[in-house]
Structure 1
Amino acid sequence: MVRLSLKSPLLSTFSLLFFFIFFTISFAELCNPNDKKALLNIKKAFNNAYYFASWKAEEDCCTWYSVQCDENSHRIISLTLAVDKQISGQIPPHVGELPFLQYLTFHKLPNLVGPIQPAIAKLHNLKHLDISWTKISGTIPDFLSSLSNLSYISLSFSNLSGAIPSSLSKLPNLSYLQLDRSKLTGQIPDSFGDFKAENFNLYLSHNKLSGKIPPSLSKVDFSAIDLSRNKLEGDAYMIFGAQKKAWNVDLSRNLLAFDMSKVVFSTNLFMLDVNHNKIFGGLPPQMSKLSLTSLNVSYNRLCGQIPKGKKLKRFGVDSYFHNKCLCGKPLESCK
């Protein structure tokens, strides 16, 4: 039997071999080389801005700032570039070379310009797309409808123009669509009544949309809908109903004209803003039973008494004023 002393050359060799194996495993590159190459090309396309200081070629890209790898495959699944003025130029085509990407964010980048990069169409695993608070321009591309895993799209606060593509309604998993504060024109697509997700969130405010709200929207189970500050006309009955789940409805600053007294509200409604329209009729008595936390019906053509009840008394004059002949607390008494 061979006994190894602490000073044995054989023991020292085993110790060195163990340390070498441990060191190699501990510091092995986890990031996929193709993903790493794509990220370094993105960094280069943005002129190696200081934002990418941690993106060093000699280090594992799974440890880089704004990058997330899958715990098992170690492929890049998330890329978030946000809140930086030095990142300038167009979205690099190299983003399309990250095939396992699920989350892609370009947020508050005031010097990001140009169109939405066509290479994004290659990202078939994408679930979350956020290109907001930028200066991207052009139209919303039809190719987004081919990314069937998308559940979240935000393209707000941009210079996007043109019509909203009706093809977005083909996205089977989409439950959040934010296209507000841009320069979009035309009508709300009739196909938007085909969205199937429960608790759908739709934000189209601060654009130049016109025409009537599509009746097809009555089929959508909205959680929140904001169509404010456009040029929409006509009725809005399709947004309301006893069985609706929307907790937030904002239709303010449009050209809508409908009889408010015929509206049936859902008890799920907590925030309602319809100010600056041409809405007529009276406020239905049912409103006194709603647990509203925010209400604004000002600057319309409403008449009659404000429904009595403690729940509506919490709102001040500015929630009701500038109507044709609306009366009752907190306005002047009805004669």
Structure 2
Amino acid sequence: MTTKLFLLFILFSHAAISLSEKCNPQDNKTLLQIKKELNNPTFLSSWNPHTDCCNLTWAGVSCKYKTNRIQSITLLVSDHAFQIPPSIGNLPYLESLFLFEFPHLTGPIPESISKLTNLRFLTISSTSISGPIPNFLGKLKNLADLDLSFNKLSGTLPPSLSQLNELVRFDFDNNKLTGPIPDSYGYFKNLKTFTLSLNQLSGRIPLSLSRLDLYYVNLSKNRFQGDASMFFGSNKGTGLIYLSRNMLAFDLGKVELPKNLTTLDVSHNNIHGNLPLGVENLSVLNVSYNWLCGEIPKGGNLQSFGVYSYFHNKCLCGSPLPKCK
């Protein structure tokens, strides 16, 4: 009798443990495989096969409340040397993947990421990943936020990314990208942040980008030429425009500033004309190192910006520069 009671106790104990474990077995297996492929790094020491991966003790792992499937992986700051493991694509319910400040994370973006069709947020930033931005990212139809900034990515911008109809933020700052902006990028449906600064991009900015109603655009420190007036317009909701250190050449006096614009930096270009109407409403302005002329309007913050916001132009004058003749 005692033996039977003991066996029943063991049976019910195991049943209780299995009921308390929320983590999907396949997800659990995939996470442990990822850890193995990364050679069991110390920053994943909490990924313990004897604990439940949905119990909030696995570093950087969170599960969806109702389904208990892995929803998010957020891994931060380590000197561990590794590449993104192919098995990352075996988490079909993953909605957010965030890899930040891994200086020894190398290699390309693996194609298995294209299997993560529920992915909404993808950040791989401040790493040493290299190679091209892959076309297969265009398959991630639910993607709303794509951040591949501060890496060593090279090659051209893939036109296929314009198929991401849900994309709101596009950040490829500080890489080694070359070539032009594809014309198809004017057909993003929901894009609000478009940043490509600190690359080696070149050519003319496509007129199709006038279709976009961006809040934040940053194309500074590239090799773009010609017109950039498509980012302006009184009907746009743009708040921040950074176009400095390119070879842009257009008449700034003929653009209409967006009503919500607070920041404008077009310094170090070949821009001509006068300062546009409404410039006195800006909180930040830099038009230095261009070919601008005319008197600096009075009012707003224009006189408090200082000489460095205006100097090295063809014939700008008036406070804080010398008086107009």
Q: TM-score, structure 1 length as denominator?
A: 0.91
Q: Give the letter aligned to residue 313 of structure 1.
A: Q
Q: Which amino acid is 2:119 matched to?
A: L
Aligned mate of 1:219, from 207, 211, 216:
211
1:58-102 deviations in Å (ceiling 9; x for gaps): 10011311000011111001011111112x221001100100000
Counterpart secondary structure, 1:132:
strand
Which letter maps to 2:172? L
1:310 alignment partner, one of 286, 293, 300 = 300
Equivalence for 2:72: 78
Shift of 1:26: 9.2
2: CA distance between counterparts of 1:285 and 1:99?
52
Name 1:238's counterpart in structure 2. Answer: 230
**Alpha-carbon displacement from aligned partner over 1:97-139 (angstroms, at most 9, x marks no partner):** 1000000111111010000011001101000000110000110
Structure 2: state its 5+ residue gaps: none
Residue 9 of structure 1 is matched in structure 2 by none
Q: Tell me whether 1:319 sits opposite 2:309 in the alignment.
A: yes
Q: Secondary structure at the match of 2:301?
A: helix
Task: Look up the SS of the partner of 1:96 in the other structure.
Answer: helix
What is the aligned length? 317
Structure 2: distance between partners of 1:303 and 1:186? 32
Report if aligned partners of 2:204, 2:224 keep a CA contact under 8 Å in 1. Answer: yes
Kindly report the root-mean-square deviation, in angstroms, between the aligned alpha carbons of the 2 structures: 1.9
Measure, in 1, the Cα distance between the counterparts of 2:251 and 2:306.
23
Amino acid of the residue matched to residue 142 of structure 1? N
- Partners of 2:29 and 2:300 lie apart in 1 by 63
Alpha-carbon distance change, 27 to 65 in structure 1, aligned in 2, over 3 angstroms: farther
Cα contact 2:178–2:200 (8 A) shared by 1: yes
State the shift of 1:21 in Å.
6.9
- Listed as ranges, the matches of 1:248-263 within 5 Å are 248-263=240-255
Deviation at 1:286, TM superposition (A): 2.9
**SS of residue in 1 equivalent to 2:146:** strand
Offset of 1:28 from its aligned partner? 2.0
**Could you tell me how far apart the structure 1 residues matched to 2:45 and 2:142 are?**
32
Q: Is the 8 A contact 1:284 1:307 kept in 2?
A: no
1:191 counterpart residue number: 184
Percent of paired sites with the same residue: 52
Q: Distance in 2 between matches of 1:310 and 1:171?
A: 40
* 1:211 maps to amino acid: G
Runs of 4 or more consecutive aligned structure 1 residues displaced over 4 Å after TM superposition: 20-23
Deviation sequence 1:238-271 (CA, Å, 0-9, x none): 0101101110000000000111111111111001
Q: 1:171 is matched with which residue?
A: 164
Give the secondary structure class of the aligned counterpart of 1:61. coil
1:127 correspondence with 2:127: no
Q: Which of these residues, 285, 301, 314, is aligned with residue 295 of structure 1?
A: 285
Provide the rounded CA distance (Å) in 2 between the counterparts of 1:138 and 1:284.
Answer: 42
**Aligned partner of 1:34 among 4, 26, 30:** 26
Q: What one-letter code is carried by the residue in structure 2 that aligns with 1:137? A: S
SS in 2 for 1:35: helix
The corresponding residue for 2:273 is 281
- Separation in 2 of the partners of 1:68 and 1:285? 50
Q: CA shift at 1:311, angstroms?
A: 3.1
Structure 1 Cα separation of the partners of residues 241 and 220 of structure 2: 9
For residue 284 of structure 1, report the CA deviation from its aligned partner.
2.3
Which residue of the partner structure matches residue 328 of structure 1?
318
Structure showing greater Rg? 1
Q: Is the 8 A contact 2:257 2:276 kept in 1?
A: no
TM-score, normalization by structure 2:
0.94
1:44 aligns with 2:36: yes
Letter in 1 for 2:202: S
Mapped to 2, the partners of 1:117 and 1:284 lie a distance apart of 47
For 1:227, give the aligned amino acid.
L
Q: Supply the distance in 2 between the matched residues of 1:310 and 1:76 (Cα, whole angstroms).
A: 51
Q: Deviations over 1:34-75 (max 9, x none)?
A: 111111111111111110111111100113110000111110
